Amino acid sequence: MKDNPIIVGLDIGTTKITTVIGELAEGGGVDIIGEGTVHSEGMKRGSVVNLERATHAIRQSIAAAERVSGVQVDSVYVTVAGNHAKAITSHGLAAIRRNQEINVSDVDRAIENARAVPLDPNLEIIHTLPQEYVVDGQEGIKSPVGMHGVRLEVDVHIVAGTAGPLLNLRRCVQEAGVQVEGFVLHALASGLATLEAAEQSQTVIVVDMGGGTTDIGVFKRGNLAHSASIPIGGEHVTADLAQILKIPMEEAENVKRKYGAAIPELADQDLTLEITTASGSTHAISAFELSRIIKPRLSEIFSLIRDEIDHTLGPVELVAQGVVLTGGAALLRGTSDLARDRFRLPVRLGRPRGIGGLTDIVHGPTHAASVGLVLYGIGEDGKVPHIVFQDEPLSAPQVDLPAPLPATPPAPAPATSAPKKEGVSLVDRLRNAFKDWM
């Protein structure tokens, strides 16, 4: 058994369930000492649809991570998909006595004041996230404690999850033999794991492109300031291929990963594939044509993200300085290029950072959320951890410069109907979010 504190993240996704075990290192960093990933079962877009099967898969994932680490897991932080959360931004005010410094209880009072908003009884607060403070009209204050003033104000983003889905998740996790230490919004976890130090002074849009959902978090100066979820992910791309090429989903998945590209111009122009349909007939399709099937769905996802941000925060190009794409679906070749074209912003692929240990196992974008849960558990009040590791010097974000894309010929529309946008706007800010759950 290890002696240092252990923090465990359990990311229950649409396509996979991942457990990541982190151990707090002597110097304050975190080492990943265990990982276990299994196929997701009993889940649909972040909701439990079959308690027994989900419990079984969760148990397997935790057991696999326990075997690697030699540690027994007692409690876990669990991701909550954005489509099961709602958020409101609330303003809090605290009067400060004349000639007195602002103290911690004044800050708590301002936050409590902001929290005192009527919430649907069907919602449970997951995060209470204060943005920067305003003291006597002076904006942009990160920590007002010790300052003088008579009026302390704060905007607080309150993220709440729908009680039913949360109860089901909690029940599955408990039946798998562990306790829920806290629920964490998927987009928040992904951002905590992937944002670089230099991005913490900017506004950056983190887009986690999963199998069934695309979760969006807008981070302002390291704080989650807005979030949303789009119920479309990489599985929809696979389903488009399966339907149009008339092949099983598994084969469509293989073809997509091996030969697919988000932009036809990036596809291997000399490659032609022989496809055997479910009915046994064969036909040829070029990698270029394959990508023409893939592109519209990804374009749709990026358009919906644009709409969401435009509606709630303003034009994307003016709101943010960059976009970080993460999640498994971001691995498809050319996805960053397409996003760069759609957002007209620098775009980079986000991988988990700020960790030591089994980094070779958890280095991919599919592990952003699970690693983010562990970083959240370190207890930095939900802010992007300011940790510098020996193997990861503080560096400028690896953002690619936007480059105009070549004109693309019109692509055939996928035969599957585009799922309706049902993205829920959430907003966030953080402060001792996990205390709600302890």
Q: How many CB atoms lie within 10 A of CB 246?
A: 16
231's contact among Mg ion, ligand ATP, none, with CB below 5 to 8 A by partner kind, is none
> d(Cα 148, Cα 97) in Å, to the nearest integer?
9
Distances (CA, A) of 242 to 230, 273, 372, 396, 413: 21, 14, 33, 40, 14
Q: Select from 328, 334, 382, 385 the one that contacts ligand ATP (CB under 6 A).
A: 328
User: Using CB under 5 A, which residues numbered 203 to 262 contact Mg ion?
Assistant: 210
Q: Name the nearest CA neighbour of 327 among 212, 184, 159, 183.
A: 212
36's contact among Mg ion, ligand ATP, none, with CB below 5 to 8 A by partner kind, is none
Q: Decide: is 13 part of the binding site for ligand ATP (CB under 6 A).
A: yes
> d(Cα 285, Cα 264) in Å, to the nearest integer?
13
Q: How far is the CB of 17 from ligand ATP (least distance, A)?
A: 8
381's contact among Mg ion, ligand ATP, none, with CB below 5 to 8 A by partner kind, is none
User: Using CB under 6 A, which residues numbered 72 to 101 contact ligand ATP?
Assistant: 81
Q: Select from 327, 346, 352, 354 the one that contacts ligand ATP (CB under 6 A).
A: 327
Q: Decide: is 13 part of the binding site for Mg ion (CB under 5 A).
A: yes
Q: Select from 210, 322, 334, 385 the one that contacts ligand ATP (CB under 6 A).
A: 210
Q: How many CB atoms lie within 10 A of CB 105?
A: 11
Nearer to ligand ATP, 211 or 350 (CB): 211
> d(Cα 96, Cα 94) in Å, to the nearest integer?
6
Burial class of residue 254 (count of CB atoms within 10 Å of its CB; 0-12, 13-18, 19+): middle
Burial class of residue 257 (count of CB atoms within 10 Å of its CB; 0-12, 13-18, 19+): middle
345's contact among ligand ATP, Mg ion, none, with CB below 5 to 8 A by partner kind, is none
> Which alpha helices (DSSP H) does 262-407 contain, by range?
287-312, 316-319, 335-343, 368-377
Q: Decide: is 227 part of the binding site for ligand ATP (CB under 6 A).
A: no
How many CA atoms are closer than 13 Å to the CA of 337, on its beta-carbon side? 17
> d(Cα 216, Cα 304) in Å, to the nearest integer?
11
> d(Cα 210, Cα 350) in Å, to the nearest integer?
13
- And the tokens for 59? 């148990």
Q: Select from 332, 371, 384, 424 the one that contacts ligand ATP (CB under 6 A).
A: 332
- And the tokens for 315? 């034009």
263's contact among ligand ATP, Mg ion, none, with CB below 5 to 8 A by partner kind, is none
User: Using CB under 6 A, which residues numbered 41 to 70 contact ligand ATP?
Assistant: 46
- The full DSSP string for 327-392 is SGGGGSTTHHHHHHHHH-S-EEE----S-EESTTTS-SGGGHHHHHHHHHHT-STTSPP---BTTB
Q: Decide: is 370 part of the binding site for ligand ATP (CB under 6 A).
A: no
Q: Decide: is 257 part of the binding site for ligand ATP (CB under 6 A).
A: yes
Distances (CA, A) of 225 to 35, 58, 82, 306, 401: 30, 31, 14, 16, 25
Q: Decide: is 147 part of the binding site for ligand ATP (CB under 6 A).
A: no
292's contact among ligand ATP, Mg ion, none, with CB below 5 to 8 A by partner kind, is none
Q: Name the nearest CA neighbour of 368 among 196, 232, 199.
A: 196
Q: Decide: is 37 part of the binding site for ligand ATP (CB under 6 A).
A: no
Stretch in the footprint of ligand ATP (CB under 6 A) among 82-90, 113-121, 325-333, 379-387: 325-333
Q: Decide: is 233 part of the binding site for ligand ATP (CB under 6 A).
A: yes
User: Using CB under 5 A, which residues numbered 291 to 310 contact Mg ion?
Assistant: none
Query: Integer distance in angstroms from the first to the last C-alpha of the chain?
Result: 24
Q: Decide: is 14 part of the binding site for ligand ATP (CB under 6 A).
A: yes
Helix (H) or strand (E) holding 152: strand 151-162
Stretch in the footprint of Mg ion (CB under 5 A) among 11-19, 227-235, 283-291, 307-315: 11-19
Stretch in the footprint of ligand ATP (CB under 6 A) among 8-16, 316-324, 385-393, 401-409: 8-16
205's contact among ligand ATP, Mg ion, none, with CB below 5 to 8 A by partner kind, is none
Q: Select from 29, 234, 264, 414 the one that contacts ligand ATP (CB under 6 A).
A: 234
Residue ranges that bind ligand ATP, judged by CB under 6 A: 13-16, 40, 46, 81, 210-213, 233-235, 238, 253, 256-257, 327-329, 331-332, 366
Residue ranges that bind Mg ion, judged by CB under 5 A: 13, 210
